[in-house]
Structure 1
Amino acid sequence: MHRIRDDREAIERAHALAAEFAVRASARDRDRVLPWDELDRWSQSGLGAVTVPREYGGADVSLATLAEMFVILCKADPALGQIPQNHFGVLGVLREAGSGEQKRRLYGEVLSGARLGNAGPERKSATSPTIADGTTRLVQTPEGLRLTGRRYYSTGALFAHRVPCRAIDDAGHAVQVWARRDAPGLTVIDDWSSFGQRTTASGSVVFDAVPIDPDDVLPLWRLAERPGLWGPTSQLIQAAIDQGIAEAAVEDTITFVRDHARPWLDSGVARATDDPYIIADIGKLEIQLHTAREVLDEAGRTLDAIRLHAIEGHGIDADASARASVAVAEAKVWTTRAALDATEKLFELAGSSATRAKHNLDRHWRNARVHTLHDPVRWKAHLIGHYHLNRVFPKRHSWN
């Protein structure tokens, strides 16, 4: 596997892969062709190891660079680009909750090309009223630790070498279990049937008394007790995915209007590109896109400054952790709006011919509508307002 050296090389590699991935992105979406070969090239490129700390052999790129990578790849193919979201999310947990030995071993696997998936939350039930609740258990048996449960929204698990999962141990603590994909009793079911982000394969994972090495268990419960960046980092990635979708939609809107759209008969102009209303709307979309990108970039820089302050020996206090969550919440509000507006406006400006199946331009709206449901943006606005008005700090979890 290639070993990326720094932020600049990470961005260069992301651009190179994006150029490849964009070629058949529409066809993969239309026919739901899972990106096995593309993910192998992603692994070989070294991008999966860019957040590994330098002391363990990685490039330890900035979080702003990580977000930029996701924008680049998701502009090319947002479903393929989203698949590594949990890879980097669980690496963030390892950074903050893992022991030195766990970091050495698991980072080593990632540097060798291992992909990390995720066994997502359980479906709603009486025992799982929220995404943070569930019945998945890690129990000690005479034969050793065993993991049992059924999870859904498991983006990346089908393609992974390890499938980390949140579970409750015998002490009642939340832990993260890094199960091996080929472990007996672990089954990944490709039952993802959403109308958008179709090739993320975010289906079900079943753990049937899966044997677990005690060294593959991270104390997730401790992260809720101390300030950190693992939640904001996860949210930064989600915002970057939406930004990539928005940028692709605006680019395709401009291309279609230039090449195919006709002016309205009352406009008095010969080309759609001379229609004053289309011109103004394209200007508004570009302003919104630029604003969202700037807020996203600022959020990345905020997280990087907090992390640098911690590395210098000052740690991360509750105020810094809250500022990180607020910064990424602001980015999520803007990128969500940009993605939804751009993908809707595409058809209004491009005209009815843009709805033809052969163009498959509806994939932008489908992808935006599905991914922006990942966590409700209305609660981002509440988080921001509660912080500024009442100085209430956001709760610490993967969605803040």
Structure 2
Amino acid sequence: MTLPQPAPALSVAIIRDDAEAIEVARRIAAEFKPGAAERDRDRRLPHEELDAFSRSGLWGISVPREYGGAGVSRVTLARVIAIISAADASLGQIPQNHFYALEVLRVNGSKAQQRRLFAAALAGQRFGNALAEIGTRTANDRNTRLIREGAGYRINGRKFYCTGALYADRVPTLVVAEDGHQYLAFVPRNAPGLTVIDDWSGFGQRTTGSGSVVFENVPVRTEDLVSFQAAFERPTTVGPFAQILHAAIDAGIARAAYEDALEFVRTRSRPWIDSGLDKASDDPLTIQEFGRLAIRLHAAEAILDRAGRLLDAATAQPDTDSVAAASIGVAEARALTTEVSLAAGSKLFELSGTRASLAEHNLDRHWRNARVHTLHDPVRWKYHAVGNFYLNDKLPPRRGTI
């Protein structure tokens, strides 16, 4: 079966270690930040910014060193995503499923698949996603089918919440084979019968392109199929890996809202009349609230690092105990980053005053981004998983939603 191949990749840098990854992330975040409010307000899709992001080499930093990548720690990867998300939360989320697909490949791919697809990622190819579906009984149910045809297969189905697919060279797609086995199919973006629809209308994360992908007899080669469900039939890091990236996005959103609140109160806000002060930044009640918010933000960032260290340990030696510890550590991080991102987005207006709500500032994007992104999976179930682990020694479920 001869299929179209992804478009030629961009010319990209190769990042060699963790320190360089952080340095590059900070540099390009500074480039992305000035236009973030305008991109969100106008829903201007960030094609140019994504090309710069790809050329930076950051999309290849999770590729293992034996395949030519930096193989950065999970701590570093989460920090990179948080740094980019603080500059532009949509840009921070778009590569989330790219890294997720690479993790599934690392855990379940054959050596030949790893050599080929890791090389593609290092060369600048972007992997999107077509995982979730709407209209199913639960978020984990899938109707998209993989049907054998000759030496290859065809895919039929419809996906939604396909973050990154609009910008991708390949669209890793969760499919169910005729025997019920679930695979991740690394489908070329230009494969016949594959249609990406820009119908994402969420009020937050507006430029992620998280819309629909339709598959109508889309051909896929056997060598582009990697077992998905096998990652959850034994202890692996795939589930907590996905979740720590979500936590990092929320941490970045919280950091952005917090820093914009500081700047607004320092430079634009007026003190409340009863304070008798000349500057809003001298108001003791405002100072106290910033203190509370700073502590919660710093705690969330610290527990994100802790989750990364637990995930690094599980990556090095995956077993029931290490993967469970990583999953719980990441669930704790997701709980705190969820809450502080929402709190920071709300406190920004409470402490800055009515002027901060003017449309020209577009400061509401932080709360909108946090509210939409934190709906990915409910934080109330994070607390349940954590409590059940510590109180009743119940291991968390092995899936990508805990």
Equivalent positions of 1:177-188 (< 5 A) are: 177-188=185-196
The CA distance in 1 between the partners of 2:126 and 2:88, in whole Å, is 18
Are 1:258 and 2:269 counterparts? Answer: no
Counterpart in 1 of 2:289? 281
Q: 1:276: Cα distance to partner? A: 0.9
Q: Contact conserved, 2:313 with 2:322, CA < 8 A, in 1?
A: no
Q: 1:141: Cα distance to partner? A: 2.3
Q: 1:143: Cα distance to partner? A: 7.2
Equivalent positions of 1:38-187 (< 5 A) are: 38-124=49-135, 128-142=136-150, 144-187=152-195
Pick from 10, 13, 18: which aligns with 1:2?
13
State the secondary structure of the residue aligned to 1:117. Answer: coil
The CA distance in 1 between the partners of 2:16 and 2:274, in whole Å, is 57
The code of the aligned residue for 1:32 comes to R
Q: 1:142: Cα distance to partner? A: 4.2
Pick from 26, 29, 44: which aligns with 2:37?
26
Q: Contact conserved, 2:151 with 2:222, CA < 8 A, in 1?
A: no
The CA distance in 1 between the partners of 2:176 and 2:131, in whole Å, is 14
The CA distance in 2 between the partners of 1:322 and 1:305, in whole Å, is 11
Counterpart in 1 of 2:5? none
Are 1:396 and 2:394 counterparts? Answer: no
Q: 1:130: Cα distance to partner? A: 1.0
The CA distance in 2 between the partners of 1:51 and 1:230, in whole Å, is 13
State the secondary structure of the residue aligned to 2:207. Answer: helix
The CA distance in 2 between the partners of 1:359 and 1:221, in whole Å, is 45
1:7-32 deviations in whole A, cap 9, x for unaligned?
01111110111001001000000000
Q: Contact conserved, 1:267 with 1:275, CA < 8 A, in 2?
A: yes
State the secondary structure of the residue aligned to 1:207. Answer: strand
Counterpart in 1 of 2:349? 347
Count of matched residue positions in the alignment of Structure 1 and Structure 2: 391
Pick from 327, 346, 353: which aligns with 1:325?
327
The CA distance in 2 between the partners of 1:272 and 1:214, in whole Å, is 63
Q: Contact conserved, 1:192 with 1:201, CA < 8 A, in 2?
A: yes
Pick from 231, 247, 252: which aligns with 1:239?
247
Q: 1:119: Cα distance to partner? A: 0.5
The CA distance in 2 between the partners of 1:354 and 1:368, in whole Å, is 18
Q: 1:120: Cα distance to partner? A: 2.9
Q: Contact conserved, 1:116 with 1:160, CA < 8 A, in 2?
A: yes
The CA distance in 2 between the partners of 1:209 and 1:144, in whole Å, is 12
Q: Contact conserved, 1:120 with 1:155, CA < 8 A, in 2?
A: no
Equivalent positions of 1:194-233 (< 5 A) are: 194-233=202-241
Q: Contact conserved, 2:235 with 2:323, CA < 8 A, in 1?
A: yes
Q: Contact conserved, 1:87 with 1:116, CA < 8 A, in 2?
A: yes
Equivalent positions of 1:357-372 (< 5 A) are: 357-372=359-374
Counterpart in 2 of 1:37? 48
The code of the aligned residue for 2:326 comes to A
Pick from 272, 277, 295: which aligns with 1:269?
277
The code of the aligned residue for 1:147 comes to I
State the secondary structure of the residue aligned to 1:199. Answer: coil
The code of the aligned residue for 1:214 comes to T
RMSD of aligned Cα (Å) = 0.9
Q: 1:347: Cα distance to partner? A: 0.5
State the secondary structure of the residue aligned to 1:209. Answer: strand
Pick from 12, 15, 23: which aligns with 1:12?
23
Q: Which runs of 5+ in 1 are unaligned?
A: 311-315
Kindly, what percent of the aligned residue pairs are identical? 54
Q: Contact conserved, 2:310 with 2:322, CA < 8 A, in 1?
A: no
The code of the aligned residue for 2:397 comes to K
Q: Which runs of 4+ in 1 moved over 6 A?
A: none
The code of the aligned residue for 1:134 comes to R
1:353-382 deviations in whole A, cap 9, x for unaligned?
110011111111110110111111001001
The CA distance in 1 between the partners of 2:320 and 2:312, in whole Å, is 16
1:294-344 deviations in whole A, cap 9, x for unaligned?
111111011112223x2xxxxx21111111100000000111111011100
The CA distance in 2 between the partners of 1:317 and 1:7, in whole Å, is 25
Q: Which runs of 5+ in 2 are unaligned?
A: 1-11
Q: 1:274: Cα distance to partner? A: 1.2
Q: Contact conserved, 2:200 with 2:211, CA < 8 A, in 1?
A: yes
Q: Contact conserved, 1:303 with 1:324, CA < 8 A, in 2?
A: yes
State the secondary structure of the residue aligned to 1:164. Answer: strand
Q: 1:144: Cα distance to partner? A: 3.4
The CA distance in 2 between the partners of 1:137 and 1:201, in whole Å, is 23
**Normalising by structure 2, what TM-score?**
0.96
Q: 1:230: Cα distance to partner? A: 1.1
